[in-house]
Amino acid sequence: MAEGDRCTFCTQRPREEVAIARWRPPTPEDQERLTLWLCGRHMERLAKAGIRGWAHEGWMHKAGWW
């Protein structure tokens, strides 16, 4: 399956490739910077979670590298 065919978090078609910072709680200072393909629903979810981050499979995620 080619990158960008699917949202990183579900089986939907992705809308955009988004800059994402992720970390393992409780160490938010160790952030990994990735670009992930996300569907509209998951882009919204991350937008709503804001800087607190959105939890998924043991990782916290937030939009943006800053």
Nearest distance from C-beta of residue 48 to Zn ion, angstroms: 14
Residues comprising the chain, all counted: 66
Our CB check for Zn ion shows the closer of 29 and 57 to be 57
Find how far residue 11's CA is from the centre of its chain.
14
Report the interface residues with Zn ion, using CB under 5 A.
7, 9-10, 12, 39, 42
Nearest distance from C-beta of residue 2 to Zn ion, angstroms: 17
Report yes or no: 63 and 49 within 8 Å, Cβ to Cβ: no
Chain residue at closest Cβ approach to Zn ion: 7
For tokens 């910077």, the residue is 33
